[in-house]
Structure 1
Amino acid sequence: MSEALAILQKYWKHDEFRSPQDEIINSVLDGKDTFGLMPTGGGKSICFQVPALMKDGICLVISPLVALMKDQVHRLQQLNIKAIALTGGIQSDEMITLLDNCEFGNYKFLYLSPERLQSDWILERIKTLPINLIAIDEAHCVSQWGHDFRPAYLKIAKLKTHFPKVPFLALTASATKKVMDDVILQLGLEKPAIFQKSFARKNIAYMVFEVEDKLHRMEQILKKNPQPSIIYVRNRKSCSDTASQLQSLGFKTTFYHGGLSVKEKEKNMGLWMKEEVQIMVATNAFGMGIDKSNVKTVIHIHLPESMESYYQEAGRAGRNEEKAFAVILTSPSDKTQAQSQFINVLPDKKILTQIYIKLCTYFRIAYGEGIDEQFSFNLNHFCQRYGFPTLKTFNAIQFLDRQGILTLSQEYSEKITMQFVIESKEVIRYMSLNPNEEPVILSLLRTYPGIYESQTAINLSLIAKKSNCEEPLIHSILEKLKERDIIDYHKKNNDATIIFNEIREDERTINRVSKYLENQNKQKVAQFESVIHYINEKKVCKSKLILDYFGEKAETDCGICSYCISKKKKPIDTSMISEKIIGLLKIQELNSREIQKLTKYSEDDVIFALQNLLENNKISVKPNNKYSLK
């Protein structure tokens, strides 16, 4: 392993491998098919990157996550390691050039999505490459029992016949025993060496608290633990609202969701990574490829959709092996709200067919046409036009994406088009009178020769680079030129791009994938019920519940979760608390925080007593959340 260790030290500056990285690398170097089940933060990418660098040839990495592919390629390129990703939106001629580079340019890594293997010509080109290892990331996607099944993953097994002597390495952070067995079967792995790291995270205290005021409890937790924190929320609005609320309480906070531009994402991520802010409020769009070891607290203020996603998100805490906290704050209405978000919005076959047909109509795609066509897409506009419910529509389109029927890119983009509407000599005269704007105008004219003849799409970052000006300044110059009738200028925001990967065949297309939809819906219901069980189970260690879900047994309680802490507490005489509460409510109506302050008992004990009083019909709660005597 000395050579492997030298590569690890040279490129990643680590002095030793984490278990089972070294065992997996040895297995791959011995030419064996290998399966690695490594919970989030375990360093899966090292397991294929190190052996690939030790061998001649190129490593083929199959991953469904475009953002993660781009991130890994960028990191490898920063290390001066040659890597390429074939992501959606790349035209065929550019794809040919990239594959030529792989074949003749001494590249070490080729990343592509499983859907790319459905193109016969790409498969033919891959056969000519000197492949030394085939790594399948997010391998649970191979199994229909996994939480993110993608049928295109089933095509990977074809590579076995073309590369019989090349080892396959399947990696995932979350898979039950049933999923693992199915992955091995579907990929055709031959007597694979299996390495499974325990799902136990002994330094993470898993906490579930039922609270009335989530913001107040967050404030308490974040003041007690002022280190880097992540707060996961359900949607974009909650993201910005929660960040604003925390800022008003004096916390340095930023936020991250899929609707931000790439620049905003990078800026906000940078603030948090450099610890200029303490808290990142985020949707589940945040997290892939995040490598920050000292996150102290991860708080979910809405219920996660599955134990798999919860484990991954909670696991971003405490990667430095120091004690950390994974907290879910819940209230009685959360189950109903989560059910309406995760279960009631699952599309059935009928609405999936309607949405697919209307999508084709929306983009004027005729029957039997549409393959490889790309369109800007505004989900809200589409739903308004046809009267579709937004969440159900999004889930339907996401399902079509995962089946490879289309590709949905959710990267926020801003499309700018413009055309000069005055003669060139007038433009030259304008520049002489406005020399501060000359660099921008000259850059536009030199970059886009046809800008006088027709509306032309502008790459703003390219013009900024060429003119040595900031983008906001270019925006203001363009607005000024428009006001003076020098240019015709249009700015349009798009929240997605859609690429059609197949010809339009309406019901035939949907019939082919409807069985997967049925299985997926059943799976999502079962996963949601597992989350509810985790929240409601008050007599079992939370760490034990997580391990049990993933088929692992713990001999002892963790000692640090909310259940274990509650066991250590001396029992409180709730009748005494109830009497004090009744005495206070005789004087005036109070909310739970006021009652807690006056009684000096813990929030949990006060809420428990209030619930007992409500159940026994001794008090009532008013719309303003204040309690009064019956």
Structure 2
Amino acid sequence: MQKALQILQKYWHYDTFRPVQEDIIESVLSGNDTFGLLPTGGGKSLCFQVPTMVNDGLCLVISPLVALMKDQINQLQSRDIKAIALTGGIKSDELIDLLDNCQFGNYKFLYLSPERLEQDWVLDRIKALPITLIAIDEAHCVSQWGHDFRPAYLKIKNLKTHFKSIPFVALTASATPEVKVDIIKLLGLESSKIFQQSFARNNLGYFIIPSEDKLYKVNQILQKNPEPAIIYVRNRKSCHEVATQLQVLGHKTTFYHGGLPIKEKEANMTAWMKEEKPVMIATSAFGMGIDKPNVKTVIHINLPENLESYYQEAGRAGRNGEKAFAILISAPSDVLQAEGQFLAVLPDTIFLKEVYKKLCNYFKVAYGEGINEEFDFSINQFCNYYKLPVVKVFNGLQFLDRQSIISITSVFSEKAQVQFIIESKEVIRYMSLNPDDEPIISNILRTYSGIFELQTNINTIFIAKKSNTTEANVLHLLQKLKERNIVDYFSTQNESKITFLEVREDDRTINRVSKYLEKQNLVKKSQLDSVVSYISDTKQCKSKLLLLYFGESIQTNCGVCSYCVGKNKKAINSEEIRIKIIKELSKSDLTSRALEEILQIEASEILKSLKQLLEIDKISINSKNQFTLI
């Protein structure tokens, strides 16, 4: 292990390995098949990167996400380590060149998706490479009970017939006991060494905070904890809205979501990392490869899709070992909203068949044909043409992509970016002088908040539909506004690509994979049920509940979560609260929120006492919605 430590210090500039890392690396270097379960922040990638640098030869890394591959390759290249990836969309000639580079160019890492292994000629070329280690990243994707199942992972086991003496290392950051058993069995790792780091984070307090005014509660939290924070929101629109609202309240914010141009993503990330803007508002697209140790607070404004994702996102707080908070703000309507966001948009077999047939018809793919045919694709135009719900279609296409029936990239690419560069009052003046343009401009302003402050991606088909006009008219108006120096506008040209990977067989194609779809939908419902149980349980330690979900049992409470803190608080005397309220109201009329801030007592206790005072006619409510003494 001395050489492994020297490699760690030379390339990564760390003095020691993290817990369990050293055990996994030692096992791999001894030639053992190895399974490692390291929660987020545990340093999974080093578990195969360090052994590869110790030995001669090439590491084959099987990874499910292009962004994850690119992130790791960029990090390796920044350390002068040669790495390469076979991502989707690469033509055969280029693939041949890349594989030649791997064979003769002294490369150390070859990243590819599991679907690439289904191409016989690629597999034949890989067999000839000097591979000394095979790493399966995000190994939970092999399990149908995992939150990110990909059938192509099931075929990784076949590599063992070609690389009998090569050690395999399978790594994941999130796996329930059921998924863990699945991974080991389905990858053929029954005789492997198994290592698991505890999911416990002793410095991280998990809090569930009920509040219907979530922005007010977020503002309170950030005022109390001004250090770097991440706020996870439901969608891209919320990113802009929440960032703008918090800026108005005096916080320095930036935002991150999958629809931002690369340069803007990098600029926003840099501003956050350097703490020029310490509050990051983000969708779940944010977080991969993020290792900012001093994040004090991670806030979820909406319910997450599953506890695996929640644990990973929450775990980005407190990586420096200091006290930190993972806060989920919940409201009574959250469960219904989450069901609408995550479950109502899941395609069933009937819907999937409809989408697949229409997709083939849309591109005029004949029955029994279509394999390897590639087309430009806009999901908005496709859904508009057939009057189909966009999100549900997107989920259906993603499922077909995971089943290797089609390959699709950049499904949600936008067609236009717009920013108003004159004051809002001047825009209103323009609309009054040009009434024919008013419907389109009004709908843009109503739909996209923050469009005066930043370049905003515009769904032109959606705006056309809301304005009862055509997309061509919307694009024409945007061009006219640009020429008159009213907006800064440019049209993006990054059309999505869709490739048919199988011949068209309609029902037969979908029936073959329908069992996976049904199981996936059951898993997603079960996972959301677990989230609801987690936030609803008021009688157990939150850390204990999370650990139990991941199959880890502890006897003692964490002492730092919302349950433990609430349990340890001195009981609040209702009579004392009422006396304090009356004392404050004798000075001036106040709202319940003002009383909460002055008395520093929880809103629920304040409201309960106000209700009691109203019932006995000690106070009343005036026209300003303030409480006043009678």
Q: Which TM-score band applies after superposition, normalised by the shorter structure?
A: 0.7 to 0.9
Q: Does 1:189 align with 2:189?
A: yes
Amino acid in structure 1 at the alignment position of 2:65: L
Check the 8 A contact 2:52/2:58 in 1, yes or no: yes
Check the 8 A contact 2:541/2:564 in 1, yes or no: yes
Partner of residue 222, structure 1: 222
C-alpha separation between the residues in 2 aligned to 1:612 and 1:45? 58
C-alpha separation between the residues in 1 aligned to 2:499 and 2:273? 33
SS in 1 for 2:293: coil
SS in 2 for 1:44: coil
C-alpha separation between the residues in 2 aligned to 1:237 and 1:359? 28
Structure 1 segments unaligned to the other structure (5+ residues): 417-478, 484-489
Percent identity, aligned pairs only, is 63
Partner of residue 32, structure 1: 32
Task: Provide the TM-score with structure 1 as the length reference.
Answer: 0.83
Partner of residue 237, structure 1: 237
Partner of residue 419, structure 1: none
CA deviation after TM superposition for structure 1 residue 365, in Å: 2.6
C-alpha separation between the residues in 1 aligned to 2:301 and 2:608? 20
Amino acid in structure 2 at the alignment position of 1:288: M
SS in 2 for 1:121: helix
Partner of residue 399, structure 1: 399
Q: 528-537 vs 371-380, which deviates more?
A: 371-380
Change (3 A) 1:587 1:501: farther
Partner of residue 468, structure 2: none
CA deviation after TM superposition for structure 1 residue 362, in Å: 2.5
SS in 2 for 1:294: coil
Q: Does 1:52 align with 2:52?
A: yes
Partner of residue 150, structure 1: 150
C-alpha separation between the residues in 1 aligned to 2:569 and 2:383? 52
SS in 1 for 2:498: strand
C-alpha separation between the residues in 2 aligned to 1:525 and 1:334? 15
Check the 8 A contact 2:378/2:411 in 1, yes or no: no
Check the 8 A contact 2:259/2:414 in 1, yes or no: no
Q: Which structure 2 residues correspond to residues 367-386 of structure 1 after superposition, within 5 A? A: 367-386=367-386
Partner of residue 207, structure 1: 207
Partner of residue 436, structure 1: none
C-alpha separation between the residues in 1 aligned to 2:607 and 2:387? 43
CA deviation after TM superposition for structure 1 residue 290, in Å: 1.1
SS in 1 for 2:40: coil
Amino acid in structure 1 at the alignment position of 2:253: T
C-alpha separation between the residues in 2 aligned to 1:114 and 1:557? 41
Partner of residue 346, structure 2: 346
Task: Provide the TM-score with structure 2 as the length reference.
Answer: 0.83
Change (3 A) 1:513 1:334: same
Q: Which structure 2 residues correspond to residues 53-452 of structure 1 after superposition, within 5 A? A: 53-410=53-410
- Deviation track 1:169-221 (CA, whole Å, cap 9, x = no partner) reads 00000001111111111011141100000000111110110012111111111
CA deviation after TM superposition for structure 1 residue 415, in Å: 8.7
Partner of residue 542, structure 1: 542
Change (3 A) 1:277 1:411: farther
Amino acid in structure 2 at the alignment position of 1:50: V
SS in 2 for 1:122: helix
C-alpha separation between the residues in 2 aligned to 1:590 and 1:387? 51
C-alpha separation between the residues in 2 aligned to 1:550 and 1:611? 42
C-alpha separation between the residues in 1 aligned to 2:401 and 2:502? 11
C-alpha separation between the residues in 1 aligned to 2:612 and 2:408? 50
C-alpha separation between the residues in 2 aligned to 1:389 and 1:614? 48
C-alpha separation between the residues in 1 aligned to 2:621 and 2:306? 32
- Deviation track 1:306-346 (CA, whole Å, cap 9, x = no partner) reads 00000000011111111111000111111111111111111
Q: Which structure 2 residues correspond to residues 426-575 of structure 1 after superposition, within 5 A? A: 491-494=491-494, 496-574=496-574
Check the 8 A contact 1:412/1:495 in 2, yes or no: no
Check the 8 A contact 1:296/1:325 in 2, yes or no: yes
C-alpha separation between the residues in 1 aligned to 2:373 and 2:575? 69
Check the 8 A contact 1:258/1:411 in 2, yes or no: no
C-alpha separation between the residues in 2 aligned to 1:614 and 1:546? 41
Change (3 A) 1:226 1:87: same
- Deviation track 1:529-576 (CA, whole Å, cap 9, x = no partner) reads 110111011111110010010010111111111111101111123466
CA deviation after TM superposition for structure 1 residue 598, in Å: 6.5
C-alpha separation between the residues in 1 aligned to 2:520 and 2:324? 33
Check the 8 A contact 2:379/2:412 in 1, yes or no: no
- Deviation track 1:44-94 (CA, whole Å, cap 9, x = no partner) reads 000000101111211000000110101111111121111110011101111
Amino acid in structure 2 at the alignment position of 1:567: K
Amino acid in structure 2 at the alignment position of 1:209: I
- Deviation track 1:458-503 (CA, whole Å, cap 9, x = no partner) reads xxxxxxxxxxxxxxxxxxxxx99x99xxxxxx94455743333223
- Deviation track 1:508-542 (CA, whole Å, cap 9, x = no partner) reads 22111100111111111110011011101111111
Change (3 A) 1:317 1:414: same
C-alpha separation between the residues in 1 aligned to 2:621 and 2:386? 42
Change (3 A) 1:611 1:25: farther
